[in-house]
Amino acid sequence: MLDLTGKTALVTGGGSGIGKSISTLFAAQGARVAVVDLQEGAAQETAAAITAAGGKAAAFGCDISEAAQVAATFDAAEAALGGINILVNNAGIAHVGTLESTSEADFDRICRVNIKGAFLCSQAAITRMVPRGGGVILNMASIAALIGIPERFAYSISKGAILTMTYSIAIDYMKKGIRCNCICPARIHTPFVDGFVARSYPGREPEMLQKLHEYQPIGRMGKPEEVATLALYLCSDEAAFVTGAAYPLDGGVLVT
């Protein structure tokens, strides 16, 4: 069950947090993993840990908002690990702000990374997957694509685009053997969250982390490993009947 042996997965943002957990779990389940990250050193650390555990991985530094870098990275990943069967569009950035407090530069940056990056990577994957008879694309959206979250104007727009991008890819490529789904997490406790809280609320870290935990009715933030487990299912052959779906992973947020 949930065996990825013989498959190559490319995971963006694989150097830390959710992407690192996905990369590690996929490798443990037999996949060859291309770990892609803007910070090449972080990607190398993840790939080294996978290799040390007996898995197969290679690291690649890439700015996913640059088409030439994306194409070169996909070519290098396939040369090193074989044809890509699975793409996980996990890389993304956050922003706090309302319509009025979001600058044009902030808005452009969010769209460039979160939307354009997923578009370029999906396009690169599709052009390689279709001639081989299919593959899987998994996008990382957010509950911000499904409900209103205060002061997440640009971020919510970007994740709404990821949601509809998922639907569009699923319907356009269903007959060509491509499945496309997305995960919509609530708050997930990653090193990024700890760093954001430390920078934004110095001296108040425990208080603010507790608030982040309490946002989920279940009483805590999610764990990267929990996202990775759902990602594994959606990218496995056991999910062969699942496409065009958005899976909340939200600790009860949407039912309250």
Which residues are registered as beta bridge partners of 12?
A: 36
SS3 11: strand
Residue 72's identity, in one-letter code, is A
Is 167 annotated as catalytic? no
Token representation of residue 176: 């060509």
Cα separation of 254 and 256, whole Å?
A: 6
Cα separation of 165 and 238, whole Å?
A: 23
SS3 2: coil
Residue 59's identity, in one-letter code, is A
Cα separation of 110 and 252, whole Å?
A: 27
Question: Could you identify the residue written with the tokens 């996202």?
Answer: 227
Cα separation of 213 and 62, whole Å?
A: 32
Q: Which of 155, 167, 201, 215 is catalytic?
A: 155
Active site residues: 155
